[in-house]
Amino acid sequence: MPTVVLADGARSFLPEALALIRQAGFTVIAAEAAGDPLTILKNADAILTMWMPMCAEHIAQLAHCALIVRVGIGVDTVDVEAARRHGIPVSNVPDYCIDEVADHAFAMALALARQLPALDRGMRAGAWEPRYWQPIPSYAAQTFATLGFGRIAQGVLTRARASRFRLAAYDPYQPDEIFAEYGVRRLDLEELFAEADILSLHVPLTAGTQHIVSAARLAQMKPSAVLVNTARGPLVDTQALADALQHRRLGAAGLDVFEEEPLPPEHPLLRCEQALFSPHQAWYSEDSTRTLYWRAAEEVIRALRGEPLQYCVNC
């Protein structure tokens, strides 16, 4: 009987999705409950992984794996090219939590643009008079921009349009027609960092995008600008970001993802009063959780039945 191995996250995996796999005639094993997880993984017929890195060394040891599913959107934790060399398909779940992440990014942006964290802290400290860290312009006077213009970024800017922001984006892979369809001004990378009043990040983590928000890029931004990251932590040099916030070279930052997760308690970002944090939860809703696990389970079943895959990223 083919074996599906949960590399991690077994306790949070939707029981109904696991039942679906078992009902299809396959065994499900949690690697983290085994004495030697790597031995279990080596003999897997399919692997479901949430956070565990699947590096080239691990992939080379897989004896007869028919599929690795990254239970999420990003596949940066899986060496996709190594899997391709060994003839192992890699899939993700690219079409869940689109609205949730767009909502979360937009909510962070609005809260910081209106300086709600400062007002909240002031009232809790007994102050009735507002304590703003900088002047607050109207939304209509600000440019809301996204780095990337895929589905989530499009959702964010659709929400921003309803609040009367000026809209802009950078994405070298999207045609002009998409920008025109959404009524979004196309910027190059230099313009993006220089003109954005709010900059929301929506690109995958690659060698080319790691630390794309660097000290040099932060220096290009307006000292009043708001940076929002709900994509991948290493897109931002967080030490440089903390320095920019502490020295008032950047207005504010909203972060759901971090270079190191969880964020260490001594990290300088935690001392920045203009920062708003959430613990990598932008993806979450009851609906998105069900969709994520169910679609990952269905992809495993397709692979083990020899059916065409729906979400393969290296086929």
For residue 61, the domain's CATH number is: 3.40.50.720
Given the residues 81, 181, 261, 307, select the one marked as catalytic: 261
- Report d(CA 37, CA 41) in Å as an integer: 6
271 is catalytic: no
Q: What is the pTM of this model?
A: 0.93
CB 231 within 8 A of CB 202: yes
Domain shared by 130 and 67, yes or no: no
Residue 309 within any structural domain of the chain: no
Residue 310 within any structural domain of the chain: no
181 is catalytic: no
pLDDT at 34 over 80: no
Residue identified by tokens 């993802």 is: 257
pLDDT class of 132 with cuts at 50, 70, 90: confident
Domain shared by 89 and 111, yes or no: no
CB 94 within 8 A of CB 71: no
* Degrees, nearest 5: CA angle 217-220-226: 85
121 is catalytic: no
182-197 b/e with 16+ CB inside 10 Å = b? bebebbeeeebbebbb
In the chain, how many domains are there?
A: 2
Domain shared by 156 and 254, yes or no: yes
Given the residues 166, 249, 280, 290, select the one marked as catalytic: 280
Domain shared by 9 and 134, yes or no: no
pLDDT at 35 over 70: no
pLDDT at 36 over 80: no
Residue 87 within any structural domain of the chain: yes
- Report d(CA 160, CA 158) in Å as an integer: 5
Domain shared by 37 and 69, yes or no: yes
Residues in the chain: 315
Residue 138 within any structural domain of the chain: yes
Question: Among 85, 14, 2, 23, which residue's Cα sits nearest to residue 50?
Answer: 14
Domain shared by 45 and 190, yes or no: no
DSSP assignment letter at 69: E
* Domain containing residue 50: 3-96+286-304
